[in-house]
Structure 1
């Protein structure tokens, strides 16, 4: 945390702003003008309104509020925001390419928002080679092998070279980082009530916590302590829907369960255009004609505004469930969904070739469609199909976890997909003023997100073993 986020990341931004220890650019030209930094700062601050709160705290303005940045802010900015807001703002592309190497190192090894739990020897060899190349290029660009610029090479730059060695000896960096210790220290700060005797207050706070653990352990009070809610059990505001036999064959995440969350309109009447799209979707999945399905579909169906994906998935708020007004909010309506698309769809006589394709769009709402018994789908009992009404983004099948992904605007085209096809909530950032476009922030992929929870008093914890540690 302190190595890459609190030190090296901060030093890089200070260098780009031309404020690093009174040094100029020397023989290079890596500084970004102040007027451009003002734009970058505004884009960073406004991004918090269109990035889900589950991704982290609202990121401050990198230009005027850099002093408010925490390690978590630095992590999210360097990994997810900086690649977009810094692009095309350097005088020479080599500075941006050099930064993207550091971005790749952060993604694979060090940040709180993208954790890699396992490494092969090949992964570590590649990481070590990338770090060595990054440090060498850093010395050429910023140090320039000048004694007057030696301050650009602090100890933290050299320590980067030791990261692969430390992983080989100590395991993934998330096993050794200081985020947990920082959170513990943060929990102790409210206990300091006396400026004269702060350490006495800290000791008393920890002594009281030990007393609490001992009382819980001695009198077996675990079941009376606050419990963390099981994320796969619906709350009173949610309704659980397990896997349906009517999930389309082109859905990839067909095994996910869904928790539909209020508000809900029980007797929602979709307009004719939506009904036709639903009929077309069912025709593609089960055969028949659009007209036949229009006759089979019920005239009303419940319309839900929110969904919580089971098995540790995201909470997604449809566009109809978003707050309106002047108050800023974290938009959680944009989603990533994946389908098996026919690569030969434009060739009618060619054999079907289905490939996994990534799409992004804005979830409008969810329809709980009940399919009555009918000869087309051959169901003998009424079956429920959960359908997502999505307005698409023109991302041309790009995957934002692998490459920078942009779109101009949300299209007016409405697509009906199985709710099981939606796999994650995503954020977006508005980039540029002259030719504005949106950039996708996708935190899914091959990494995991960190969630800190206090399990010390949760039910099922063996307190006697915990007290012995």
Structure 2
């Protein structure tokens, strides 16, 4: 992945900025103006406010701070941000289409698993991409030979390396690169750099010996086991919510208004039959209102909009979510038989209601039953799935939807694109690929050091 992220991605951006080894565009016109790059840089930097911190740290401005981009920054920008901020900004569509082929190659390369068919398709995609790259940037001119460094040819070997070594996310060397990066500040002498490195290694070994001999790790604050609720969280025994950890703040005596109660009643009629009037009589008047929820098994922390607004601190917005429901594909055909298909939706989680349904003859529960409802303001994304295609929306709709908390899959980010007629785009990283973020779990209880990238 170092080949794609730290080498080829940098070269592509340098070509688009007109800063690649003194090369001009030749007979092509792929360079973007400084005004466009300034706007792209602003949109990239502003995305930090609306992309959850669980995705990664804030991505720097790619126009003014490209020099501090790490491999994680390049990965997130190339996979999730660039498809939106570069769209309709090249003089000719073919440059954007060519980049999107590289975007697809990146996504396929960081998959968790491959079939032989996947590798054959990836190999052909890379061959097509490299051929087009030579036509656009090399142009088969001797004076432009510098546009074809070894890293471009090395892309062709990726499928072969995967066949021999397995998925790149299982064997990349980002931990080693982090360690080498920590050694660089130790070099204080240009004349004797290796002496400085040896001293740093010697001191690290001394520290490691002290920690082990005196059990210093027992005195260190360890991270809480993420699969066990903390003192600020609550988990319910119902199987559907075993991986849902409700988190403070909580309002115990919350009274939902009649609009919300009617929507909850309508939701229950769909689940258990009965009438809205009957369910309104059954529903309790007071329900607990929770502001946050954490999804277990390594899932995300979702901050409801009510927690986002009440907080005085500046947080990354983590209130937008992806949820899945079964929708009738024949809803527009009243006479047709119902055909329910799983459909992806996006919206902003406002808060969570803890509703205790008393025993009743409609749902046929003999004991009080707990149901957790997510109150979501919907986005009109036209049924698009952001893990498979570019997904836009203008603004939040006025429609409030009630969904079972178990239907919420993950937290998502959003980025605002454009100035005169701005629109929002969805950033959903829940696809079948590895998360391009380095995480150090060395302080987690009973967990070895791991990484994701």
Fold similarity call, TM over 0.5: yes
Asked if 2 retains the 8 angstrom alpha-carbon contact of 1:242 and 1:257, the reply is no
Q: Please state how far the C-alpha of 1:201 moved relative to its aligned partner.
A: 5.3
Aligned to 1:169: 164
Q: Deviations over 1:390-436 (max 9, x none)?
A: 00000121100000010111001000000000000000111111221
- CA deviation vs aligned residue, 1:195-250 (integer Å, no higher than 9, x gap): 88765554344345445655676788877765443211001111012435xxxxxx
In the aligned structure 1, how far is the partner of 2:188 from the partner of 2:232? 40
Task: Provide the C-alpha distance between the structure 2 equivalents of 1:196 and 1:11, rounded to a whole number of angstroms.
Answer: 32
Match of 2:119?
A: 124
Q: 1:81, CA displacement in angstroms?
A: 0.3
* CA 1:2–1:280: 2 relative to 1, 3 Å: same
Distance in 1 between the 2:170 and 2:114 partners? 13
CA distance in 2, matches of 1:461, 1:395: 39
2-structure distance, mates of 1:327, 1:272: 32
Equivalent residues in 2 for 1:197-346, closer than 5 Å: 199-200=194-195, 202-211=197-206, 227-243=222-238, 254=240, 257-322=243-308, 328-346=314-332
2:128 is aligned to 133
Distance in 1 (CA, whole Å) between partners of 2:5 and 2:177 is 14
Partners of 1:67 and 1:453 in 2: how far apart? Answer: 22
- In structure 1, the partner of 2:381 is 395
How far, CA to CA, are the matches of 2:168 and 2:276 in structure 1? 55
Q: Quick one: distance in 2 between partners of 1:364 and 1:462?
A: 36
1:67 aligns with 2:58: no
Count, aligned residues: 449
Q: Distance in 2 between matches of 1:72 and 1:406?
A: 24
* More divergent stretch after superposition (187-196 vs 10-19): 187-196
Contact 2:225/2:444 (<8 A) preserved: no
Sort the Cα spacing of 1:334 and 1:219 in 2 relative to 1 into closer, same or farther, 3 A: same
1:151 aligns with 2:137: no
Structure 2, unmatched stretches of 5+, are none
CA distance 1:227–1:127, shift in 2 (3 Å): same
Corresponding residue of 1:249: none
- CA deviation after TM superposition for structure 1 residue 360, in Å: 0.3
SS in 2 for 1:429: strand
Partner of 1:53, secondary structure, is coil
Moved more, 272-281 or 172-181: 172-181
Distance in structure 2 (CA, Å) of the matches to 1:391 and 1:302: 19
Structure 2 partner of 1:17: 17
Other structure's SS at 2:144 match: helix
CA separation of 1:13/1:238 partners in 2, compared to 1, >3 Å: closer, same or farther?
A: same
Partner residue, 1:357: 343
State the match for 2:173 in structure 1.
Answer: 178
Deviates more, 1:428-437 or 1:176-185: 176-185
Cα distance change on mapping 1:188 and 1:256 into 2, 3 Å: farther
How far the C-alpha of 1:325 sits from its partner, in A, is 8.4
- Give 1:442 deviation, angstroms: 0.4
CA 1:312–1:122: 2 relative to 1, 3 Å: same
Deviation at 1:176, TM superposition (A): 3.3
Which is further off, 221-230 or 346-355? 221-230
Q: Which stretch shows the higher mean deviation, 380-389 or 201-210?
A: 201-210
* 1:247 match: none
Give CA-to-partner distance per residue, 1:7-40, whole Å, 9 cap, x none.
Answer: 2111111111122222211111111122111111
**Residues 254 and 286, structure 2, Cα contact 8 Å, conserved in 1:** yes
Q: What is the CA deviation profile of residues 417-467 of structure 1, one whole-angstrom value per residue up to 9, with x for unaligned ones?
A: 00000000000111111221111100002123256455557665799xxxx
Distance of aligned partners of 1:15 and 1:193 in 2 relative to their CA distance in 1, 3 Å threshold: closer
Where does residue 372 of structure 1 map in the other structure?
Answer: 358
Quickly say closer, same or farther: Cα 1:134–1:315, change in 2 above 3 A.
same
Q: Shift in Å at residue 4 of structure 1?
A: 1.3
